[in-house]
A and B are shown apart, each in its own frame.
Chain A
Amino acid sequence: MFVSQNFGESGKMKEYHYAGPTEHRFSPYAFNGGTVLAVAGEDFAIVASDTRLSEGYSIHSRDSPKCYKLTDTTVLGCSGFHGDCLTLTKIIDARLKMYKHSNNKTMTSGAIAAMLSTILYSRRFFPYYVYNIIGGLDEQGKGAVYSFDPVGSYQRDTYKAGGSASAMLQPLLDNQIGFKNMEGVEHVPLTKDKAVQLVKDVFVSAAERDVYTGDALRICIVTKEGIEEQNIPLRKD
């Protein structure tokens, strides 16, 4: 049976029934899709995102990555409403520069996370519709991942998936990186190569089942040597 479906806010589907005259209200938000993922290792962090930019049934662009390099040791991944992503990254860049000029040092990952939390909360009553994940190295050189909600609640994690396919990816990461619900398994620490391979596999799975995820995968690997980028093609359908 074919059911025609409309899109409401945040990409949730609404059933179409003929219900008489409806009121169309201007919504300041749009849902542009995309998935972001970050993993922290012993001395590295990986931030990965797909590069598809969609709206409703259309794809606006196949080359719009959602990873933004903030400093030499920190990368931000943001998905949700692209307009707010752009503005938010501009604001963060400006604040980073201000900090650098006032304090003569680069902001650390933890400091950026705390700052982002207050930036997001300052718009508590008209939020930035963005799901953020920060990946980077902390002051000790260990990998750090900070995940946020749209209004600024955050915490430090080892791994996190955000965006449209997050509910599909997170359980897989829980099992493979967190060893959750596995009995009698040795907890081997994650190496960089294994982590990169896992991220690729996980996105390939996401592209299979989420319409908003696909086209290409951009991986940013943060180590003390710097930030290495890789591009891997994904399904374009």
Chain B
Amino acid sequence: MALASVLSGECADFSLDFRQPFGHNCGPGQSGAECDAAPGDSVSFSVKNPMLAGDDDGVERKIEFLHGTTTLAFKFEHGVIVAVDSRATAGSYIASQTVKKVIEINPYLLGTMAGGAADCSFWERLLARQCRIYELRNKERISVAAASKLLANMVYQYKGMGLSMGTMVCGWDKRGPASCTGCCLKMGSLSTCQLIDEVEGAAVGLHHTPLRRQDSAWLYYVDSEGNRVCGDLFAVGSGSMYAYGVMDSGLRQDLTVDEACELGRRAIYQATFRDAYSGGQVNLYHVHSGGWTRISQEDVLMLHQKYRDQA
């Protein structure tokens, strides 16, 4: 498995029995030790599931509970806006208010983190390594679809073993949707056209021919359950519902960059206001044709003052 092959080279002498967990049988059953997810409290962006009674560190989470954080990303005319909070909790203790939940995989790819802090940062760091290897082997940048698929496939091997990760992979690449002759406009909506193109056209009676490929922004949601979906708008975490409310009411395709940034910032702020497990600072990134740019980092306390004075 991916984990063993990355680490076994260095840890060969020291992890003797415990390479078994990475094989087919979960946990070192032979040695009789437990296979718990974490002793006591490990830092996470997740909230313990109160519905699993008497289960402090349950590996098996039958009922999927939300990750304790708020991260969001949405596409608009000029690229993708990515906004995250910065709180990490260990149970009900706030372990840190200054966590970086956006991982800069490379200058044109970003990954967000929600769920187990170590899981997210480890696997996304591994993804960065895989993306670099791809670049070296193929002499071209990896596409966002491929990068997100690499990540999804890596964690799928550990499905059911207790990894907790909900991430969005955002980037810009040249495999954008084709622009078509316009016959789709006859069908009524451009979105139908894009949908057909995403499933590679072939299945649904080619009624249009692609003219040229454009650069485009891409946004994928990948999680430790094995989900991988492409979309225009995602919010992940315990504060996601609050963020969705703000984003959905303010989102238009023709937003300017500043308006879009402010929308993302406001959505995270409102989520931190109402969700106890989100807080700290709002980190904002913008992904565009030249890669990603860090827009701002603002403390939620300051934003509170600002919005109160504005109102």
Contact = CB atoms under 8 A, between A and B. Distances in A.
Interface of A: 9-12, 26-29, 31, 80-81, 91, 94-95, 117-127, 129, 147, 149-155, 157, 167
Given A27-B34, A151-B38, A126 B118 contact: no
B241 to A, nearest CB: 26
B18 interface: yes
Interface in B67-88: 88
Interface stretch (B39-47, B174-182, B220-228): B39-47
Interface of B: 3, 6-7, 10-11, 14-15, 18, 21-22, 26-28, 32-44, 56, 88, 90, 93, 95-96, 98-100, 116-119, 121-122, 161-163
B27 A126 contact: yes
Nearest to B35: A125
Contacts of A150: 38-40, 42
Given A28-B34, A167-B93, A126 B18 contact: yes
A28 B118 contact: no
Contacts of A124: 3, 118-119, 122, 163
A126 B43 contact: no
Given A120-B118, A151-B38, A125 B56 contact: no
B181 to A, nearest CB: 51
A153 B118 contact: yes
Given A119-B11, A120-B118, A125-B21, A155 B27 contact: no
Contacts of A27: 34
Interface centre among B6, B28, B34 (most CB of A within 10 A): B34
Contacts of A94: 14
A204 B32 CA distance: 41
Which are the 6 A-B pairs with shortest beta-carbon distances? A10-B40, A153-B117, A149-B43, A153-B118, A151-B118, A129-B39
A149 B56 contact: no
A200 to B, nearest CB: 24
A92 B196 CA distance: 54
B40 A9 contact: yes
Given A28-B33, A153-B43, A127 B38 contact: yes
A42 to B, nearest CB: 19
A126 B15 contact: no
Nearest to B21: A125
Nearest to A31: B40
A9 B98 CA distance: 29
Given A122-B3, A122-B15, A153-B121, A127 B90 contact: no
Nearest to B34: A28
Contact of A151 (B6, B26, B42): B42
Given A120-B118, A123-B15, A127-B42, A149 B35 contact: no
Contacts of B38: 127, 150-151
Contacts of A153: 42-43, 88, 116-118, 121
A16 B27 CA distance: 31
A159 to B, nearest CB: 12
Nearest to A129: B39
B34 to A, nearest CB: 7
Given A9-B39, A125-B21, A126-B34, A152 B26 contact: no
A153 B117 CA distance: 6
A112 to B, nearest CB: 14
Nearest to B39: A129
B98 A155 contact: yes
A155 to B, nearest CB: 6
A126 B21 contact: yes
18 contacts: A29-B39, A31-B40, A118-B122, A119-B11, A121-B122, A122-B3, A122-B15, A124-B122, A125-B161, A126-B18, A127-B38, A127-B39, A149-B44, A150-B40, A150-B42, A153-B118, A153-B121, A155-B98
A89 to B, nearest CB: 12
B100 A26 contact: no
A125 B95 contact: no
A116 to B, nearest CB: 12
Contacts of B14: 91, 94
A23 to B, nearest CB: 12
Contacts of B40: 9-12, 31, 80, 129, 150
B126 to A, nearest CB: 10
A80 B34 CA distance: 18
Nearest to B123: A121
B121 A118 contact: no
